[in-house]
Structure 1
């Protein structure tokens, strides 16, 4: 197995090294050091399997490991490492003097949890690394078999760090090593795997050690804080907020965050708060009312196509708040405008067409669009328009705008009108 796995590990190491060089060019490789050497020593605890009646010491001294770590950036990296464990008997089965050794090598990915969770806001001395990877090992025990038992490893663990200086760090590591393809018990006797699936055994390492950083810069990636990047990100967020605040959905020249009526008729004059100017409070914007009055003579001569085109082209709409089927307060103008037109033109009928935005279930939105149209029709009927002149149409979802924009969705939650002679 090692003839396959070991070359694979070295191939991964070479590939990751090339990736690290490319990454360094893009994130500013001149800002921090990336390489470190880590040496640890401590205890091991082997879990099953062992021969029946045999005990392994709860804490086996000696464990040692050595690794070379490279950080792609301040948050992620990898380490090529090796370990050595001695597992001693603790009585039982007449095997008090037997001893097993495990030599292994592995490749692990590292995550700088301290930078990810922004430890720098409360400490400059403490840090936490998470690591996980794969490897191979050789188990030996001269008392029970010749040669070695070649096994595979899956490793996962946490490393706590205490920064002594910019070059030296004290670390405490806890690692769990799960083995597979294991043919021998930890005591060296033959392992009866039976129908067992998954990992064959587990070995726990607890150790203390030192990390030494290398490079020409002051700080290593474990501790480097890119203040310029943080400032730039904050500035981009503020610019994004300002851009959102300056959106003008109804194109009346007043930003949405200041607009008291974000759905005013396009092209109609508004005050400094985005409200249509209606001095006589009859529900019709003064500018539009003035236009109608100046065209009154032409209307009496039968030239009413301009007003009809204005309505049929969607300049007169009734708007709704999210998931509501009753018009919002800003839509009174549109309803009053249509009431006045239909009363002045008693032979004209109208399709009352409801729409919904794309948020939610399509079938529900279809029904919602119809309820909106029916409620607007009822308001028109209550205002003196004969019900027979009004035809209800539920057009469902309007997909003509970006459904991720709450301001754009306001535009399509509406009822519009088509006049018919």
Structure 2
């Protein structure tokens, strides 16, 4: 028996040394040690028997759970049978060893008993088979052992002491196949049908391995599903956030290198407006700007003397120079800051000049909101001019509400009326 216990201890040490955690959600590995009583029920040769269950069996195993319901375990068990000394044929001793591979079912999780976090009771079911051998020592000491196969099944109640240690009980039945001799080793069995049977009853300890807080045995299915659901929701939320396209240029914000691109202009894969001549104005709107601004070349190739002060005044008054806005916004488009600068420069060169700032909105949305928006756009340009050094007393601002002069269904046309125009006195 000492050799058996030494073998069990060596196997347990080896398993604990090399078993590693393979999960990021709960621990899956465990080591099981147990010992207790046993009773072989058949077969004995005439005159030999064991009337009552007796001590003399132990086992050690390692278990891996695929999830919180199903797993597999490999274990080694040893029994020492001693016949009753009051039997007619006298005492006998046989050492029995088995190596088993078994499937494991966590009945508590399958049936939904582990929903409480404070639950300490559980039930495992196990079954499988493997190789076994019986080595008869007394009264016969045959050379060689009786080699056979076995199948087994059992139930294991659990009591969780801590998150790492569990007290277990186990009741297992083992049926041998091709057992050549009776348990006492003195008589040959006829045929190779299942003919050896015994029952083991044990108590033991299970040690959980791994770095996570809980083992699969005590992880409820709903909590596992809930954790996965929360992870999926977090991933989905991140994807939704990444796909937001604030400036509506077709490039998501997380890839967009120019977050305030003018609506409707062509951009590259990084969300930057295409500007091949590097003049700071997107190529797509340059033709429309050229149509609104008078070019120096339009005046006899630039050779005619021009009254630029009068020209700028005319451009400002006639609506060739405007400040443009995005939909629903009071922030001027970046390129429109040049239009504000035209008025600022003109008013500084003409100290007596006064200007009225008139705001407009397109027809999309509530009319009352658009009226307020047009006034706020004019006020925004007013604030910029005052901040740039123009005396507030020389400026006034009003909102004219919706400009209905363009086709409402045209996105490009609506861009032209989301504006602030100037009137000089």
Q: TM-score, normalized by length of structure 1?
A: 0.47
Q: TM-score, normalized by length of structure 2?
A: 0.46
- Which has more radius of gyration? 2
